[in-house]
Amino acid sequence: MELKTETRGNTLVLTISGSLDALTAPELSDALSTQLRDGNTNLVADLSQLEYTSSAGLRVMLNGVKEARQKGGDLRLAAIQPNVKKVLDLSGFMSIMKAFPDVDGAVASFA
Amino acid sequence: MSWTTWRARRTFRGSLEQLAHLREFVNETAPQFGCNEEDTFAVELACDEAAANVFSHAFGTMPGEIQVELWRHDNTVTVQMKYHGGAFDPLQVPMPDLDVPLEERPIGGLGLYFMRQLMTEVKFEFDTVNGNVLTMHRLLIPESRG
């Protein structure tokens, strides 16, 4: 799993690449906690390069959504790939999280 | 054609670093048993969730290993995981209630929920000879049968 961050206006885009599982999810958790602690509460997870997630990755995303909303922001998903979509659908999280077809749309939603 | 002769077995060290290798093993093996993409993904995710629980909780500070065996019988694919260490039943993790609001929902139990959604039957046994044995069956979707 690799993480990259990019600031776009009032929004921070986290690009998550590779696979999220019980080994790699804590790294994403730490990154999200750091951003939220630093006051970056408008967050977009760019999932265009995320090929796989298990429940461990979803738990981190759900925690991110909870914490960002408590601070007045949100964590929104963009460009979800088929295998990740399957897992999100199975979890029921799609009814909770806001998802967009691409990063531009997700960033624009915070404007 | 009988599928009962199709079996594959591999042993993995009991650490989270092995999860990616376990998924690769399932991804390579299940299609050889005639599993289509959907069946293969279901087995891969169920194995990942089960093994992540075992690696995180079963071995403590002791080094452990897990033996994973896959086979197909008629229209059912089976995964069996055997591991020693203390008796650890991954099916005892509480299930999440997906109907409660997000803010009130506890974190955890989702992996077990996935295992039960993806596999037709999941069972756990423990005895002093074989140690812990987790067995998961999945009835293949019609397109994978043949």
CA dihedral A61, A89, B115, A62 (to 10 degrees): 20
What pLDDT is recorded for position B102? 54
Residue A109, domain member (yes or no): no
What pLDDT is recorded for position B82? 94
Residue A7, domain member (yes or no): yes
What pLDDT is recorded for position B56? 84
Stretch B86-106: mean pLDDT: 64
Q: Which is nearest to A66 in space by CA: A100, A46, A83, A43?
A: A43
Sheet with B121-127, edge to edge strand ranges:
B7-13, B65-73, B76-83, B131-139, B121-127
Query: Which of A17, A20, A51, A55 to mutate to test binding with chain B, by most B CBs within 10 Å of its CB?
Result: A55
Residue A81, domain member (yes or no): yes
Stretch B109-132: mean pLDDT: 90
Residue A6, domain member (yes or no): yes
Helices (H), chain A: 25-37, 55-70, 82-91, 103-108
How many domains does chain A contain in total? 1
Residue A111, domain member (yes or no): no
Q: How many CB pairs under 8 A join A and B?
A: 57
Residue B129 has pLDDT above 60, yes or no: yes
Q: Note whether A62 contacts B102, CB cutoff 8 Å.
A: yes
What's the domain range around A82? 2-102
What pLDDT is recorded for position B28? 95
CB-facing half-sphere around the CA of B104: CA atoms within 13 A? 5
Residue A39, domain member (yes or no): yes
Q: What is the CATH number of domain B7-144?
A: 3.30.565.10
Q: What residues of A are in contact with residue B23 (Cβ under 8 Å)?
A: 19, 21, 52
Confidence of residue A63 (pLDDT cuts 50, 70, 90): very high
Residue B32 · residue B94 · CB < 8 Å: no
Interval A37-54: pLDDT, tens: 999 999 999 999 999 999
Confidence of residue B108 (pLDDT cuts 50, 70, 90): low
Interval B27-77: pLDDT, tens: 999 999 889 999 999 999 999 999 998 888 877 777 889 999 999 998 999
Query: Which of B19, B27, B54, B99 to mutate to test binding with chain A, by most A CBs within 10 Å of its CB?
Result: B19
Residue A14, domain member (yes or no): yes
CATH number for position A50: 3.30.750.24
Distance, CA of B87 to chain centre = 17
- A23 at interface of B, judged by CB pairs closer than 8 A: yes
Residue A28 · residue A16 · CB < 8 Å: yes
